[in-house]
Amino acid sequence: MKTKLSLLFLLAAPLMLAQDAVKVAPNNFKVLSENEQVRVVQDTLAPGETEAMHTHPAGWYYVTMPGTMKVTRADGKTEIWNAKAGEQAWMDPDPPHMSENIGKTTIQYVLVEVKRAAK
């Protein structure tokens, strides 16, 4: 039983450690505006910089400075994001992940995080 609990903890640890991006990477994520419906954050990641495990709620993003980011999910799977200047899209809630700028230029994007719909 103790072994099963230890294994469960090890598997769940990355999920428990995942937090609000602004809290885990305050040097990268800057809150530009916030109200009851949305929070607007700007993420700036210089070449070689990494961000700790974090999540994002649903929202819309816009790339202001292009670059290449490696995203590592809590389950260990990785993906590469080749962000283009002006790229924008809606994104569903983003599960726990770490980010690393693996490119040669600083990458930056603005994310409008939805808190709740206006009444």
Checking DSSP bridges between strand 50-56 and strand 19-20, what pairing results, if any? Answer: parallel
Task: Please identify which residue in the block is written with the tokens 């590469």.
Answer: 80
- CA–CA dist 70, 80 (Å, integer): 5
CATH number for the domain spanning 39: value is 2.60.120.10
Report d(CA 69, CA 100) in Å as an integer: 6
Percent of the chain with pLDDT over 70: 83
What does the pLDDT profile of the chain (119 residues) look like in tens digits? 555 544 444 444 444 456 999 999 999 999 999 999 999 999 999 999 999 999 999 999 999 999 999 999 999 999 999 999 999 999 999 999 999 999 999 999 999 999 987 66
The pTM of this model reads: 0.81
Confirm whether 22 is domain-assigned: yes
119 belongs to a structural domain = no
Number of domains the chain contains = 1
14 found inside a domain? yes
Structural domain contains residue 49: yes
- 79-109 pLDDT, tens per residue? 999 999 999 999 999 999 999 999 999 999 9
Containing structural domain, residue 24: 2-114
- Quote the percentage of the chain above a pLDDT of 90: 82
